[in-house]
Structures are given as C-alpha cells and as structure tokens.
Structure 1
Amino acid sequence: MKQLFIHSSQNLTQSALLEDGVLTEFGVERTEHSSLIGNLYKGRVVNVLPGMQAAFVDIGLPKNAFLYVDDVLHPHLDKQPKEKPPIADLLKPGDQLIVQMMKEPLGGKGARVTTHFSIPGRWLVYMPEADYIGISKKIELDAERARLRGLAESIRKEGEGVILRTNAGGESLEALDEDLNQLRRLWHDILARGKTSSAPAELHRDTALVGRLVRDVVTPDTEELIFDDGDNMLAAKAYLRQAAPALEGKVRLYEENKPLFDQYGIKEQLDKAFQSRIWLPSGGYLVWEQTEALTVIDVNTGKYTGSIDLEETVFQTNLEAADEVARLLRLRDVGGIIIVDFIDMETEEHRHRIAQQLEAKIKRDRTKCQVVGWTKLGLMEMTRKKARDNVMNYFYETCASCKGKGKIYIR
C-alpha cells in the first residue's frame, strides 16, 4: 500500500511517501524558494575555458552556471561528431543561448546546465531536439514496451525525442498524444519568450514540490494522498481531474488537531532515519557518515548473535542492511559516491546475493542509482545522481563549537 502525505506550514512544504507503512521518500521545499531543477533560462556566456572543455554562463543567479561541452553537443549520441570539438569552436563570450538547469548550486559551486532539454509531463518526457524514443526500464514486459514504442513513433514529429515514463504503462494513444501536445505547446512558448527576452532571464519554472509529486508519484497503486492544507489539496484534485480522473477520489484533507506527521508515525520514522547510527530489526546496526560528495556506511552485527553459525549470522545481517541502505538512500536523497562496508563474508555466493538484493531494491528509486560492485578491499561501491541540496540541510546546521566534528573535548 502506497500513501503520500503533504504537510504545509508557513515556511516549508514537506512530503512523505509510505510504502506498506514504511517511510521511503521524504521531500522538503521552502515556500519562498522552490527547486530550480528543470528550470529554463536564457543565458549569456561569460567565459570559455578550453582547458576544462566548459563554459560559464550567466543565468541570473549569484554564481555563474557551468556548461560542459558534452551538454552543448547534440543529445543523440549517434549525431555527435566522432571527435569531440573544442568548446571554443562552439561557444564564445557574449553568446546567448537557452539552457536548462540539471543540478542546483551546491555549496560553493554554481549550477550545472545543459542544452539537452527535457520537459516532463504526466505520461512522457518531451525532448524537443533529441530525435530518439526511450522507455522506462521499470516497464518490463516486452509486449508493452513494443506497444509504447509504436505509439510514441506515431505521435512524435521528426527530430523530436520522447521518453515513456513508468506511468505510461497501459495508457492509450489519445492520452499520450494529449500529453505530448501540451508539452510541445509549452516548448513553443518558451522559445517565443527566449526571442523577446534579454539574457540573463528565466524562461520557464518547473512546478513546485506538490505539483511534481502529484505528477510523478501518484499512480493507480497509490492508496491515499493526504493534505493538511486545503489550497494544495484543491490544486492536486484539479490536476488529477484533468490528467488522471480515476485517481481524484484518492485525495483527501486531514482535519484532525494532532499534526499530520505525528498522527501517522512519520516524525518518529524520520527521527530514526536521520541518526548517524540506524538500528536494524534483528539488532544489527548501520553507522552512517556523509560528506558533500561521499557517503560511507558501516554494517555491524550489534546485538544480533544468530542461531546457526557465524557465516549465516553475518549474511542475514548484511541482507537486512542491504534493504535498509537502499531505503535510506532514497529517504535521505543521498547523491554522489556511496561506499558500504558490509561485514566480511566467506562465500562468493553470499557476496553475489547481497549485490543482487541491492540491485533489486534500488529499482524502486526514482533517482538514477547504480550498484558498481565489490572493490578489491571487499567494499560495495555505488553511485546515485546528485541534483539537489541534502534535505538534512533544511533542518540542521553545523555546530558552531565543534565545526561539525561531533566530538566532546575532554581535558
């Protein structure tokens, strides 16, 4: 059972996704500062760096955005030159171009932008210049993939690209065509604004957190969509009434006095999930250490002693840990390189099964995540796309006394 909860306060909007009562995703956005991912800008090239094969583009933010040469070339790999041209042959200072944000400014770094445009809809993602068809890997039946590919080929125009989203499974030609036409009209509006705007200028802003969730997360298997704010609830119902009428009845307003996240045990699960030590059901635990680009997770047996032998105890602890690591990567929205130090196992079969378990669990992650495999030191290496600031930064700040070391000095 999948339940989506939206809590709104004066300054923050928070979302929580529960699957069979277990918290698996958490999102937060400040009221006055929605996410910038997916926004389109008319920018001005400020500087071209041949040594980095990149350019810096002024898009109107405090720091200039970073545009890599690969994001200037044609989005279809088959249409790119065999040898990558120098960035200076493609761009020069003063050039104006439309770009889309793919990674928000993080820390001291500016945003990363691209000219590989993609505009998400309910059923598909429209890529106006990509010239190819993609289908979500989560649609596994060959017959359905072939059907969707045929429908996409029939509705797209020459040079356009589309990606059929997971939600598109089972949808009709009419629904896909309507979605594509809406996105096509939006793209034409963006181009028209680009012609009349002076750089730097924002041309299009993607929908805020609530709108993205209703568009991307709410599916036929969603049991409930619960709001504690009437305006957001009405907006969600209006969108679903137009895009997916069968789901409108699953939206309801929470009107009890007890806070929404307290009523459904979400706050308690959040408090446990964001600790540095996370206990597993058997009595084992994870130790979680996170930096800007690297996350290290250590697995320990803790209180779990098993009932057969040491190897089986270790294996069962690692299986539980694999499930929890996959869940917490989604929940914490971790990005970058992830290293998991599982407890050493003697058999290759057990190591293989742990990798399989991780791969199976991360398939439910909406963010691109990859299990790279075991290193020579016996560590599990993973990567997960990083696009937004860590959600913990909304609620925690570095201690002024220890500067983030988290230790007490004993004289």
Structure 2
Amino acid sequence: MLSEIIVDVGIEETRVALLEDNELVELYIERPYPQRLVGNIYRGKVKSVLPGMQAAFVDIGYEKNAFLYVGDAIPQREYSEEDDEEYEVSREHNIDEILKPGQEITVQVIKEPIGTKGPRVTTNITLPGRNLVLMPKADYIGVSRRIESDAERSKLKAMAEEVKPKGMGLIVRTASEGKTAGDFKNDINFLTKLWDTIHQKERSGPVPRCLHRDFNLIHRSVRDLFSWNIDKFIINNRKEYEKVLDLVDMISPSLKTRVEYYNKDYDIFEYYNIESKITRALARKVWLKCGGYLVIDQTEALTVIDVNTGKYIGGNNLEDTVLKTNVDAAKEIAKQLRLRDIGGIIIIDFIDMHEHEHQKMVLDTLKRELKKDRTKTIVVGMTGLGLIEMTRKKVRQELSSVMKVDCSCCDGTGKVLAPEVIARKAEKELISYLGKTASKTVAVEVHPFVGSVLTREGGQIIPELEKAFDKKIVVKPTNNIKYEEIKIHEIDIDTLVC
C-alpha cells in the first residue's frame, strides 16, 4: 500500500492530508485562531468543585474554564492504549477530598473545547516523543496494544525498563516497533530535558499561565504520522520543508530521503486530487462502489448513518445483494468516521439481514476496518432493531465543524421555509402596510423563489389585495435579498412608468 503525507501551507491555514493508495483517509487543519489546546500544559487555579458531578472547573486562562473529572485528578493506576487514556476511578475518592477552590494545579488539555463546552484537562501529564511517551507523574511501563507480537512486546518493554527514569512512567508507542535501545535513549534524553524545563516554570509566575505548548501541526505530523509506513512526506513551503528536514534528522535520519519539496505552480491539493475528496467528505450522501450509498446525519448528541442499496440491484438473490451492499458500507463507514473525525455515539442502520452468518460478516468487516483508525473505537454490538451501536473517542472538532458554519438562512437545521410559507407571510405584511400607507403604488421585494409564487399564473394573492385596497402592487424578485426576507416600500408612479 502506497502511503503519503501531503502538506499544504497557506498564509493562515495549514492542512495535512494522509493518503493511502491515493485515497484520502485523514485530514488535519490548523489555523492561528482558535489556537489548538490539546497537549498544552497549564498552571491553573481551581475555580469551583462540584461533588455532585465528581468534577472541578479550572481556570487555565482560556475564555471557558476547563473541566477536570475526578478520574483525571488522581494518579493513573494502570496502562491504557496510547492516545486513548481512560482512567480507572477509585470509588474511595471524592473530588472535594482531592481539590479545593483556589488551589493551584498543573494540568494538561486532553480534549479541545467543543460547542459550549470548555476544554477537558487531566493532572496525569504525558509528553509524547517519537517512540516513547513520558509520564512524569506515573511509575510503570506500558506497551501499545497495536504491537501484537508477544516477542516484540517483551523486547520493547525490556528496553524501556533500561532507560526509564526513576519515579516516572513510560508508554512504548506503536512507532517504536523494530527500534533499538539507542532510539529509546534519544527519546528519553529529549523528554526528560523537556519535563525539567516545564517543572522549573511550574514553580513561579502568575496563575493561570501556559507552561508548555505542543508542536504545531506540521511537526506533530512528523512526530506522530511519519514512520517507515509512509513512503513520501511532501510539503509546498520551502521554509517549513527545511524545518521538517532538521526535525527528521533529529528523530529519524533514515527517513530524510522520503521528504520532498513541492515546487510546482499548480496547487498541491489540486495536483493530488485532494480538494474533490474533501468535498466528498463533507457531503451528506456518500456513494459506494457497488452503487449503494450512505446518508450521514450528525447531531450534537450522536451521528446516525443509514445504508441504502441505491442503484445496486445485485444478482438473483436478495440476501446476497443486501450482504454485498452492507459489507461495502462497513468498509466505507470506517473510512468516513476516520476522515470526518466523527466522535461520540454512532448508530448505523445497515440494510436488514435475516441470516445470522451475514450479520456476523458485516460486523467483523466493520471491526477489522476500524483497526486502521488511530482513535479509539468501541463497537457495542447489534440491537434488537438491527442497529449497530458504537462509540469513537471525541478529542477535537469534527471536520464538518472546522470547515463549515451554520447556514444564516436555516440556522443550521438544513431546512428553509417553503416559498409558499414566505409568500403567505408577505401577504400578511402587505395587508398591514397597505392599511397604513396613502401611496397608491407599493413594491414588495422578495427572493425569486417567493416571487414566482406571488406572480404565478392563476395566483390570487396580488389581485385580491389590489382589489381590496384599491392600490397597485409591484412584485420585485431579486437575488440581492435573503431567502426569507421581505421588503415593502412606496413607489413613485412616474418611476414605475419609466
């Protein structure tokens, strides 16, 4: 499989695309505003403690106070898969026994602010390196569950034990597979120096304040994505290209030959046909190769995905047609969740299957494809109604939230009033206006769709109002007006004649 990282550096936006066999599978976007918070470390002050929620709110200098759950305020007791920390909460702990209002604490952001919610933070600090994650406030070693070979896991754990700083913890990352003890030592030297710097800043200064900011998007892509599995790292900015070379030289010199500078006049995302793939990633309907399609609807609480046969009519057997569509859908759904960065509760309505074996095949396909996703997913199973329930960890804003804003016409509902409804509203406003004006001629400006209702052949609204009020009404359809807007004003009869 050919894997490439394509970096598009703009004046106020950087985009990083991960391609697998020329298919867009992940897309990351970073802008100066709002600034990314995940990974940043702050010295904050506890503003309030809520025993009923087993949580506290912490002022870290952001516009909204950060949320600290009790499970994130006590030491992590056991290892959970890298980048997918879920802490075991001891029932013996209450949040008001751990924290008090006004207390100063050091926290790290683990989830971006989303919607009306502020960022989520933890006191369990993690500093990711190329091969290892340093946990200054833990004391154990974990190995990524994505490394499946028992022999490799044992070897890596033994290497980690040799370099583990006393009183600190380590997680061996997936990228460390096949690495040497020397690679681990380089990581440890860098990470311990970084923690010493942060720890020094912790001791004095105003509160709240930022102690450490994580790498920018380009450097994180080098650290977290650029490995031996990636064939090319292509970037369109000379200055950033030089910085990438310097960083790769420090953390993985053997990969330098895979870094390329893109110097063509043609837009880099257009050249690699990424823009059209982004448009597809934002569409509500996604077509499958077999001719079926998905409909993806997102709400604040959950995402619903509906599977349809569409144009696919299959062969002679209905069950085989349904199975083929559902298997293709399972593969596409896993890809779309990863690409769109959809998090939270996800409900999938596959086409009804009567054979248990077919249900299992579709479920197994979905689980297998989800293993390619670096973000933690849990497939709960199939409900009595035949719906698949699953969850995907929500860390940052979904792609649609980053690239789209609510429609000013429909307020984000995806629906607008029918033109007949607006025409009825125009009728009421005309009645009110005509009863007050002395002018014999008035104009009503509306959107062309509404205008077509008011002036259609056989329509009675305008003739009836003209007859009732003995006035002339001129309908002016115009595109220079919002869809639901109505403007009524007097008009000079001489102007009308001209």
TM-score of the aligned structures, taking structure 2 as reference length:
0.80
Matched, 1:361 2:361: no
Matched, 1:2 2:3: yes
Matched, 1:150 2:158: yes
Aligned residue number for residue 44 of structure 2: 43
Aligned residue number for residue 18 of structure 2: 17
Aligned residue number for residue 286 of structure 2: 278
CA contact (8 A) 1:293 1:335 kept: no
Aligned residue number for residue 27 of structure 2: 26
Distance 2:125 2:259 in 1: 32
Amino acid paired to 1:65: A
Structure 1, unaligned runs of 5 or more: none
CA shift for structure 1 position 197: 2.1
CA shift for structure 1 position 293: 3.3
CA contact (8 A) 2:71 2:88 kept: no
Greater displacement, 324-333 / 123-132 = 123-132
CA contact (8 A) 2:70 2:89 kept: no
Aligned residue number for residue 103 of structure 1: 111
**Secondary structure, aligned partner of 1:24:** strand
Of residues 372, 379, 387, the one that matches 1:379 is 387
Q: 1:249-260 to 2 correspondence within 5 Å?
A: 249-260=257-268
CA contact (8 A) 1:76 1:131 kept: no
Aligned residue number for residue 54 of structure 1: 55
**Secondary structure, aligned partner of 1:145:** helix
**Secondary structure, aligned partner of 2:52:** helix
CA contact (8 A) 1:398 1:404 kept: yes
Distance 1:181 1:82 in 2: 34
Give a deviation string over 1:295-323, Cα, whole Å, max 9, x none: 11000000001114111111111111111
Q: Structure 1 vs Structure 2: percent identity of aligned residues?
A: 44
CA shift for structure 1 position 157: 2.9
Aligned residue number for residue 349 of structure 2: 341
Aligned residue number for residue 127 of structure 1: 135
Give a deviation string over 1:182-209, Cα, whole Å, max 9, x none: 1111111111101012210000000011
Aligned residue number for residue 101 of structure 2: 93
Give a deviation string over 1:42-87, Cα, whole Å, max 9, x none: 0001111111111111000011111111111111159989533221
Aligned residue number for residue 186 of structure 2: 178
Pair member with larger Rg: 2
**Secondary structure, aligned partner of 2:57:** strand
Distance 1:129 1:354 in 2: 42
Larger RCO (CA under 8 A, 6+ residues apart): 1
Matched, 1:239 2:239: no
Aligned residue number for residue 70 of structure 1: 71
Aligned residue number for residue 395 of structure 1: 403
Amino acid paired to 1:205: R
Amino acid paired to 1:289: D
Amino acid paired to 1:38: G
Amino acid paired to 1:15: V
Amino acid paired to 2:249: R
Structure 2, unaligned runs of 5 or more: 80-86, 421-498
Amino acid paired to 1:221: N
CA-atom RMSD, angstroms? 1.6
CA contact (8 A) 2:236 2:262 kept: yes
Distance 1:344 1:130 in 2: 48
Of residues 159, 162, 171, the one that matches 2:167 is 159
Matched, 1:311 2:319: yes
Amino acid paired to 1:147: K
Distance 2:113 2:413 in 1: 24
**Secondary structure, aligned partner of 1:404:** coil
TM-score of the aligned structures, taking structure 1 as reference length:
0.97
